[in-house]
């Protein structure tokens, strides 16, 4: 993987993770590193799901793919909060 791929994965992870944190109500007491990790995982899984279902092949922005990524990030944030006992 090239450095541009790593940087773009980090940027997407930050954005998707932050949006996921915004969707989940209440306070999440974990740091930005966990937000990025959850965001990257959600972005990868969301992209895979969009490709499998054929939703990633659009002529414009992939809004359904972004929605899937943010929803998965929200689920990841909620699960991490619950597992770590931070709620």
List the pLDDT tens digit at each of the 87 positions of the chain: 567 777 777 788 888 888 888 888 888 888 888 888 888 898 888 888 888 888 767 777 778 888 888 888 999 888 888 887 655
> How buried is 77 (Cβ within 10 angstroms: 0-12 exposed, 13-18 middle, 19+ buried)?
buried
Whole-prediction pTM value?
0.79
């Amino acid at each position: 993987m090239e450095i541009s791929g790593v940087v773009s994965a980090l940027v997407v992870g930050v954005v998707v993770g932050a949006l996921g944190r915004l969707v989940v109500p209440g306070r999440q007491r974990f740091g930005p590193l966990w937000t990025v990790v959850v965001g990257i995982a959600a972005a990868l899984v969301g992209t895979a799901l969009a490709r499998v279902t054929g939703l990633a092949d659009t002529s414009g922005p992939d809004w359904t793919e972004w929605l899937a990524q943010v929803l998965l990030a929200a689920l990841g944030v909620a699960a991490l909060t619950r597992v770590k006992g931070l709620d």
